[in-house]
Amino acid sequence: MKKELITAYISVILAMTFWSLTYVWYKMAFETYRPITTVFLRLVLSSVILVMLMGPFRQLQKIDLQHDLKYFFLVTLFQPFLYFLCESFGVSLVSSTISAVIISTIPLFSPFATSYFFREKIMRFNIIGIVISIIGVGLVIFERGEDVEATPLGVLLLFLAVAAGIGYSIVVKKLSGKYNAVSIVTYHNIIGIFFYLPLFLIFDWKHFISVGFQPQAVLPLLELAIFGSSLAFIFFTFSINKIGVTKSNAFTNAIPVLTAIFAFFLLGETLTVIKMGGIALVIAGLFMSQIKRMPKLRKKTVIRPSE
C-alpha cells in the first residue's frame, strides 16, 4: 500500500512537471502554428504514438460502448476541448496574473465536487492547506509586477475552464475504476481529434496550408504530444485513481512554482525573496492538503489525591 502511494505521488509530481514545461513548448510551437492547429496536431501525434506503443503490448482495453462511451465523450468534452478553449480565450481577455490565480482555484473547489459525487469527506485541515497554497501561488505570480486587468467575460471563461478541469477529474475518477490510465488517455485523445477537427478546418486550415511543414516546429510538437498529452495525463489519471481527485488536483498549484524554478535554471530569471516565500507557502500548503486528519492533542489526565 505504501509503495502504491509513493508511486502515486511520484506520478502526480511528474505530471505537473510535464505540464509546467508545456508553456515553454507551446511558446515555441506558436511561433509557427496557431493554437487550434497546435492542439490538433498534438492530439494526433499523441494518439498515434500511444496506439503504436501500447497496442502491441495489449495495454488498450476495449470500451464498453453501451455503458461507458458517453463518459469517454464527456471526459473529452471537459478536457482538452472546453478547458483549452475557455482558458485560451479567457487569457486573451484577462491579464496572465489574474488568469493564473483563477486557474489555481481548481484545488479549492475540487473537494466540494468530490463530496457531492463521491461522498468524500471534506477535511478542514486540507482546505486550509489548499488556501495557503493558493496564497503562495499569488505571491509567485504577482511578484512579476504585471498589469492586473480583467473583463467580466474573460473572468467567466476562466471559471468555466476551472469547472471543466474539475469535471474532467470527476469523470476520470469514475472511469479509472474500470479502465487503466493508458486506455483512458488514448481514447480521450482520439475522440479529442474529432472535437477539434471542425475548428481546425474552419479557422486554421488555410493558415496551416500556407505555412506548410516547418522542421523547427516538429520538436516542440513531439514534446507536447509525448509529455504533455500522453505521459502527463497517464500519470495524473493514475494518481487520481490512487489518492483521489482532491489530493491530485491540489498539486496543480505546483505548476507556477515549477515554471518559476525552470525559468531560473533555463532562462536565467531571478528568484526573489517574495517569490521564494511564495514557493515555500505552496509546498507547505501541499503538505497540509495531503494529511488525512489533523493531529489531535492528547489531554493530560489529572490524578486528584483521594480525600
110 touches 166 (CB < 8 A): yes
So what's the pLDDT on residue 171?
A: 94
The three grid cell numbers given for residue 44, joined into one nine-digit string: 494526433
- Per-residue pLDDT at 231: 94
Position 26 scores a pLDDT of: 82
In sequence order, what are the residues at sequence separation of 6 or more whose Cβ sits closer than 8 angstroms to the Cβ of residue 14? 231, 232, 235
Cell numbers placing 197 = 477537427
| pLDDT of amino acid 269 | 67
Predicted pLDDT of residue 294: 47
**What is the distance between the alpha carbons of residues 240 and 11, in angstroms, rounded to a whole number?**
10
pLDDT of residue 302: 46
Collect the ranges in the chain with pLDDT lower than 70. Answer: 1, 95-97, 141-150, 266-267, 269, 292-307
Q: The C-alpha cell of 218 is what? A: 516538429
* CA quadruple 8, 13, 16, 17: dihedral sign: negative
